[in-house]
């Protein structure tokens, strides 16, 4: 909670951790604690849970709240905690956001409601409702049109940023890089913008972005955090070198649907007890594993091992 009063300091690599499951599909809280210790030791600047990499749509609200509670307790205010609290249902979004606020989250990451394809006015009203309900909690929109079938427009972000003091930023997960620039141009650079697209993480910093919420931080957290730190220190060539060295691991993430490849790697590293993903996802196929192993061999020097995290 200590970062809640000044969300402008929530910057850098915010690791969007997976939700580990046991082999029979239950949420594995012991492995989740291990993952958080791993991220803290590796130098991640913040932690998120419940974004796309965390399989939130395959979990009940009660499961998500219990997992958030485990993470919040393990972080213990050492770095910012930005849980994903969005759903396709408003009542569930409010329930999850209320729970996050009570357990000390520093901000709530609220996905655009999926499947229904609301208009821009409907999106404005959705986020306005959340912002009004929790005036003391920073609200961050999570824009991921590839999964939600709706894109929150720069003008809508500007309306929310203008109308609500606690609407502080947006996680942009769109490959349209012009969109990043138009959002910052519309709102000004006091809006906090994080990239959720791995290969646009470093470019966003040149536009004045706050950092990134990159799934590759699950398997190479030190490298992802270091890339941000190098850029901030003005060591641009070194930051670019890391950006390009991360390419194989970025490709690995999407050999099959994220987070199945990530969970397989984390299981191989001993960080989680099972690579289980919940339906409709499946663990990587044999053909997928061939490619995953190839890419891991190519970029594996950047993956951090568990060390003393267990």
Q: Where are the beta strands (DSSP E) in 186-243?
A: 192-195, 211-212
Q: How far apart are CA 57 and CA 119, in angstroms?
A: 22
Catalytic entry in 89, 114, 127, 142: 142
**308 burial type by CB count under 10 A (0-12 exposed, 13-18 middle, 19+ buried):** exposed
Catalytic entry in 2, 89, 115, 171: 171
Count CB neighbours of 279 within 10 A.
7
- Burial code of 74-107, b = ≥16 C-beta within 10 A, e = fewer? bbeeebbbbbbbbbeeeeebbbbbbbbbebbbbb
The answer to whether 171 is a known catalytic residue is yes
Residue 49: beta bridge partners? Answer: 17
- Burial code of 162-194, b = ≥16 C-beta within 10 A, e = fewer? eebebbbbbbbbbeebebbebbbebbeeebbbb
Catalytic residues, by residue number, are: 142, 171
């Amino acid at each position: 909670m200590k970062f809640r009063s000044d969300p402008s300091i929530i910057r850098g690599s915010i690791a969007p951790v997976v939700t580990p499951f046991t082999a029979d599909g239950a949420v594995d809280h012991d492995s989740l604690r291990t993952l958080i210790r791993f991220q803290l030791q590796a130098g991640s600047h913040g932690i998120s849970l419940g974004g796309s990499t965390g399989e939130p749509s395959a979990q009940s609200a009660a499961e998500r709240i219990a997992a958030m509670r485990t993470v919040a307790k393990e972080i213990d205010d050492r770095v910012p905690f930005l849980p994903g609290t969005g759903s396709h249902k408003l009542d569930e979004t409010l329930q999850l956001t209320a729970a996050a606020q009570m357990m000390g989250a520093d901000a709530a990451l609220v996905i655009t409601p999926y499947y229904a394809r609301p208009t821009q006015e409907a999106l404005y009203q959705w986020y306005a409702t959340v912002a009004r309900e929790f005036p003391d909690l920073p609200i961050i929109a999570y824009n991921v049109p590839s999964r939600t079938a709706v894109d929150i427009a720069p003008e809508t972000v500007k309306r929310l940023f203008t109308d609500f003091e606690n609407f502080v930023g947006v996680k942009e997960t769109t490959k349209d890089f012009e969109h990043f620039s138009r959002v910052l141009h519309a709102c000004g650079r006091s809006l906090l913008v994080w990239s959720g697209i791995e290969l646009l993480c470093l470019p966003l910093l040149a536009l004045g972005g706050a950092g990134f919420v990159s799934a590759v931080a699950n398997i190479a957290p030190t490298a992802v955090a270091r890339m941000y730190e190098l850029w901030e220190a003005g060591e641009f060539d070194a930051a670019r070198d890391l950006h390009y060295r991360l390419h194989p691991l970025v490709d690995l993430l999407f050999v099959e649907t994220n987070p199945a490849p990530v969970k397989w790697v984390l299981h191989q590293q001993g960080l989680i007890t099972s690579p289980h993903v919940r339906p409709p996802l499946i663990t990587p196929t044999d053909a997928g594993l061939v490619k995953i192993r190839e890419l891991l061999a190519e970029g594996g020097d950047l993956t951090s091992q568990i060390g003393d995290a267990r």
